[in-house]
């Protein structure tokens, strides 16, 4: 029931998918493997077609999504598993050929687990997009933060303190039909490629 409700709410509140920007960035980035942590319904594939020479690894905790994705993407280069971020074996991936997506994930994860993850993935290409608390945000934004199921929506200085060695872009009112701010964090990815990806318009 929650899975159906989640999908409905996503379609209702989004004016642009966070995964659409991630997909645009994939077009400008060299990689062989995608690791999509907390992949949900694997929305990134609505905007980016994976060719047979590349592999996609989607990790998700919701059994409904896992079953649905295995049926939908029943191909040799798609892999789905129920694993938490600290259960993924990153050693089996080549960091130079792998990009990690964390779309709307960090605000569900505590500081210690994030630091452990970053220790394991220092040389990987990484992109994260997540909610961020900024000074003088309006009442609607703060109310939406309060209603969010994530327990770790952070202020910008807190993200920078925990997620070190990254570059950051604040994205104001980009994705939701309501006032809402996000932070894009990226590592081992060229800033000019991120800028190009963000200029592409592909609203749902």
Reply yes or no on whether the pLDDT at 141 is more than 70: yes
Query: What is the predicted pLDDT for the residue at 2?
Result: 47
Model pLDDT for residues 11-70, shown as the tens digit of each residue? 666 677 888 999 999 999 999 999 999 999 998 998 988 888 999 999 999 999 999 999
Query: What is the CATH architecture assignment of 2-199?
Result: 3-Layer(aba) Sandwich (3.40)
Model pLDDT for residues 155-175, shown as the tens digit of each residue? 999 999 999 999 999 999 888
| Extents of the domains making up the chain | 2-199
Query: What is the predicted pLDDT for the residue at 145?
Result: 79
The model's pTM is 0.89
Contact 65, 2 (CB under 8 A): no
Contact 69, 80 (CB under 8 A): yes
């Amino acid at each position: 029931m929650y899975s159906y409700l989640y999908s409905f709410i996503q379609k209702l509140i989004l004016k642009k998918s966070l995964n659409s920007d991630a997909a645009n960035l994939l077009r400008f980035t060299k990689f062989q493997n995608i690791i999509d942590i907390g992949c949900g319904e694997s929305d990134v594939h609505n905007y980016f077609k994976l060719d047979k020479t590349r592999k996609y690894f989607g990790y998700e905790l919701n059994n409904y999504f896992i079953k649905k994705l295995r049926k939908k993407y029943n191909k040799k280069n798609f892999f789905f598993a129920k694993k938490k971020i600290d259960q993924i074996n990153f050693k089996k991936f080549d960091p130079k050929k792998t990009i990690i997506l964390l779309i709307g994930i960090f605000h569900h994860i505590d500081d210690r687990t994030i630091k452990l993850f970053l220790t394991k993935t220092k040389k990987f290409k990484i992109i994260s997009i997540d909610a961020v608390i900024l000074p003088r945000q309006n009442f609607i934004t703060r109310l939406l933060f309060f209603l969010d199921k994530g327990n770790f929506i952070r202020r910008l200085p807190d993200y920078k303190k925990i997620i070190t060695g990254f570059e950051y872009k604040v994205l104001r009112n980009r994705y939701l039909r309501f006032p809402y701010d996000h932070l894009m964090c990226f590592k081992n990815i060229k800033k000019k490629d991120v800028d190009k990806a963000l200029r592409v318009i592909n609203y749902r």
